[in-house]
Chain A
Amino acid sequence: MAKILMKGNEAIAESAVRAGGLLYFGYPITPQSEIAEYLAHRMPEVGGVFLQIESEVAVANVLYGAAGAGARVWTSSSSPGISLMMEAVSYIAAAELPCVIVNIVRCGPGLGGILPSQGDYFQAVKGGGHGDYRCLVLAPCSVQEAVDLMPLAFDRADRYRNPVIVIGDGMIGQMMEPVEFTEQQFPPLPPKDWATTGCQGRKPNVINSLYLDPVEEEKLNFKLAAKYEQMKKNEVRYEKFRTDRELECLLVAYGTTARVCKTAIQRLDDEGIPTGLLRPITLFPFPEEAIYELSQRARFLLSVEMSTGQMVEDVRLAVGRSKPVYFYGRAGGMVPSPEEVVDAVKRYLAGGDR
């Protein structure tokens, strides 16, 4: 199939439809409203459901109900809207229901602004809602990768019976790039024999997260923890860029920021400063082993983010005290330029700002 030029938000929507994400519930918020607008006309064409709901609080609870009834269901929003969904996401994780949530992150905190940011890293990766749970978090760095990750997101949501968050900054949602839709094959999924589809010919199913008996609640907690361990074992994804050599600096960046870093690396090469990039594609599970391994051939690490320093904490956990880990970030909707990254690398190389 030939490549076509598409805006990130619309490409994400189309990819979800092709992956069988035929039930979408949402609430408008910039910079991702094109997803809902696209689906409002697309879903009727494919026999799917598009419904605009009264709030993000309700949207996520609609997802709970639909997922509980066995549907492949998803939504999208941006940072303040995602905060409102956190109540139900906690319930969805507890009741082990599959769903996909796309967060086209804008800057914050509070109402913030509508420009790109990576300030929702903590929320996405560390739980976000109340209680002890994790979401699988996928972070595309291009429109094409967003398209490619959507089918995986649905598959893994079903396979793990867990919410999957696709996190893209406002840049991924708003920019246009050429994309190609290719069909992905996955192993067969187990039947959703736990869903509330009517109890004909079986015992009643209950979708629930209430465990008043601490023994039972702890059992659930450990069961969920074991699932997250499985994710850590099987789902870590990352890209290595120019790391097959001895490095002065290993950059760690995801999403749009990783692309900025790639340009910076080329310029640093021109100046004879060999630098590599590790780009996490899964933020949870985090590629800590790969980062540790690569850190051993670098003098120091630099986490580059559109935040005041969030992922850097996980980079530090990954390398411990074996190497210095520094941080460079822009926030408030500002995107770091390659020159800024080059300057930051050179500054730390010279021993400044330590």
Chain B
Amino acid sequence: MKVIFRRPESLSVTPTHYCPGCTHGIIHRLIAEVIDELGLREKAVGIAPVGCSVLAFNYFNFDFQQAAHGRAPAVATGIKRARPDLIVFTYQGDGDLASIGMSEIIHAANRGEKFTVVFINNAIYGMTGGQMAPTTMPGQVTTTSPRGRDVNDVGYPIRMCELLSSLRTPAFIERVAVHNPKQVINARRALKQAFIYQRDRVCFTFVEFLSTCPTNWGMSPVQATRWLEENMMPYYPVKNFKTPEFTEGQNAD
């Protein structure tokens, strides 16, 4: 009998702590699938952030480091510079990457550090209980923007892909979503491409995932999916921002 679906070896057998309807689980699985498919599990080192995915190391079946809030790109820089042969990725939320870790991500990207960043944008702080993030939408109600995000007071949400694309060095930047099967397939393709570029030592790679947080958005998972489509996607377009000029296998050992 042909096996058509099974747990990737790169995922460990651990009950999830993520909320129902949260997209972390899908993204974890995509990472595990891609790493398995490329045969990189035994060289992989993930870096967990501070935020809901702080315990990411429990869910993957390969080496992991847990970083201070926002510092994952600095930690990844250390690992990759010490051991360029390892496959290193950071897994960071929007508070971690776009707020407290803004300096670390900009400079790691600008140095062209050859690791992969998986950036989870759900427009809110999840773990601390639904506070305003740098990516929170205009008018969006959070516990620290109870009257809705006032752009005259705190500015507009930060678009990380667009911001990083303004730098000359970083070469692979793409925004994807995972709220329906079509988007999941596209996201998997982009993620795989990022890890191929890293494997072949081509460039810094950055994949942003538009994600839902039904718990802190105060919605059902279905409502959250619709809200993401109607509110986030027009402001955060799903597309490729930069691709290096490169043929697969060009730099391979």
Query: Is there an interface contact between A25 and B64, defined as CB atoms closer than 8 Å?
Result: no
CA–CA, A208 and B60, complex, Å: 14
Query: Is there an interface contact between A210 and B54, defined as CB atoms closer than 8 Å?
Result: yes
Query: Is there an interface contact between B75 and A68, defined as CB atoms closer than 8 Å?
Result: yes
Verify if B78 is at the interface (C-beta below 8 Å from A).
yes
CB distance from A96 to the nearest CB of B (A): 13
Known contacts A54-B103, A197-B86, A199-B41, A62 near B78 by CB under 8 Å: yes
CA–CA, A49 and B84, complex, Å: 12
CB distance from B56 to the nearest CB of A (A): 10
Query: Is there an interface contact between B43 and A68, defined as CB atoms closer than 8 Å?
Result: no
Verify if B238 is at the interface (C-beta below 8 Å from A).
no
CB distance from B131 to the nearest CB of A (A): 20
Q: Which B residues lie within 8 Å of A57 (CB)?
A: 71, 74, 103-104
Query: Is there an interface contact between A61 and B74, defined as CB atoms closer than 8 Å?
Result: yes
Query: Is there an interface contact between A66 and B63, defined as CB atoms closer than 8 Å?
Result: no
CB distance from B166 to the nearest CB of A (A): 17
Pick the contact of B64 from A23, A64, A196 — CB < 8 Å?
A: A196
Verify if A273 is at the interface (C-beta below 8 Å from B).
no
Query: Is there an interface contact between A65 and B63, defined as CB atoms closer than 8 Å?
Result: no
CA–CA, A295 and B208, complex, Å: 64
Within 8 A of B (CB), among A52-77: 53-55, 57-59, 61-71, 73
CA–CA, A65 and B108, complex, Å: 13
Nearest-CB residue, chain A, relative to B85? A198
Within 8 A of A (CB), among B42-76: 42-45, 47, 54-55, 57, 60-68, 71, 74-76
Verify if B2 is at the interface (C-beta below 8 Å from A).
no
Name B's interface SS: helix
Q: Which B residues lie within 8 Å of A49 (CB)?
A: 81-82
Pick the contact of B107 from A58, A71, A196 — CB < 8 Å?
A: A58
Query: Is there an interface contact between A198 and B43, defined as CB atoms closer than 8 Å?
Result: yes
Query: Is there an interface contact between B68 and A206, defined as CB atoms closer than 8 Å?
Result: no
Known contacts A58-B71, A199-B41, A68 near B65 by CB under 8 Å: yes
CB distance from A210 to the nearest CB of B (A): 6
Q: Which A residues lie within 8 Å of B60 (CB)?
A: 204
Query: Is there an interface contact between A69 and B74, defined as CB atoms closer than 8 Å?
Result: no
Verify if A200 is at the interface (C-beta below 8 Å from B).
yes
CA–CA, A200 and B83, complex, Å: 15
Query: Is there an interface contact between A61 and B71, defined as CB atoms closer than 8 Å?
Result: yes
Nearest-CB residue, chain B, relative to A200? B42
CA–CA, A197 and B85, complex, Å: 9
Residue-wise, chain A 192-224 has the 8 Å CB interface mask toward B (1 for contact) of 000011111100111111100000000000000
Verify if B184 is at the interface (C-beta below 8 Å from A).
no
Query: Is there an interface contact between B79 and A65, defined as CB atoms closer than 8 Å?
Result: yes
CB distance from A204 to the nearest CB of B (A): 5
Verify if A91 is at the interface (C-beta below 8 Å from B).
yes
CB distance from A251 to the nearest CB of B (A): 41
Q: Which A residues lie within 8 Å of B65 (CB)?
A: 64-65, 68, 196, 206-208
Within 8 A of B (CB), among A229-250: none
Q: Which B residues lie within 8 Å of A55 (CB)?
A: 103
Q: Which A residues lie within 8 Å of B47 (CB)?
A: 65
CB distance from A212 to the nearest CB of B (A): 9
CA–CA, A205 and B55, complex, Å: 14
Verify if B77 is at the interface (C-beta below 8 Å from A).
yes
Residue-wise, chain B 158-202 has the 8 Å CB interface mask toward A (1 for contact) of 000000000000000000000000000000000000000000000
Known contacts A58-B74, A207-B65, A65 near B82 by CB under 8 Å: yes
Query: Is there an interface contact between A71 and B82, defined as CB atoms closer than 8 Å?
Result: yes
Query: Is there an interface contact between B71 and A70, defined as CB atoms closer than 8 Å?
Result: no
Query: Is there an interface contact between B103 and A58, defined as CB atoms closer than 8 Å?
Result: yes
CB distance from A196 to the nearest CB of B (A): 4
CB distance from B41 to the nearest CB of A (A): 7
CB distance from A97 to the nearest CB of B (A): 10
Query: Is there an interface contact between B45 and A196, defined as CB atoms closer than 8 Å?
Result: yes
Query: Is there an interface contact between B74 and A65, defined as CB atoms closer than 8 Å?
Result: yes
CA–CA, A57 and B101, complex, Å: 10
CB distance from A99 to the nearest CB of B (A): 10
Known contacts A196-B63, A200-B43, A206-B64, A69 near B79 by CB under 8 Å: yes
CA–CA, A205 and B86, complex, Å: 14
CA–CA, A157 and B41, complex, Å: 30
Q: Which A residues lie within 8 Å of B80 (CB)?
A: 65
Verify if A51 is at the interface (C-beta below 8 Å from B).
yes
CB distance from A131 to the nearest CB of B (A): 12
Verify if A87 is at the interface (C-beta below 8 Å from B).
yes
CA–CA, A54 and B111, complex, Å: 10
CA–CA, A54 and B74, complex, Å: 10
Q: Which B residues lie within 8 Å of A61 (CB)?
A: 67-68, 71, 74-75, 78, 104
Nearest-CB residue, chain A, relative to B86? A198
Query: Is there an interface contact between A204 and B82, defined as CB atoms closer than 8 Å?
Result: no
CA–CA, A55 and B41, complex, Å: 32
Given contacts A58-B107, A64-B65, A200-B42, 10 further A-B contacts (CB under 8 A): A49-B82, A51-B77, A61-B74, A65-B78, A66-B82, A70-B83, A197-B63, A198-B63, A199-B42, A206-B65
Binding site for A on B (CB under 8 A): 12, 41-45, 47, 54-55, 57, 60-68, 71, 74-83, 86, 103-104, 106-107, 111
A-B contact pairs, 5 of them (CB 8 A): A25-B81, A64-B67, A65-B65, A206-B57, A209-B66
Top 8 closest A-B pairs, CB basis? A65-B78, A66-B78, A65-B75, A61-B74, A71-B82, A196-B63, A200-B42, A54-B107
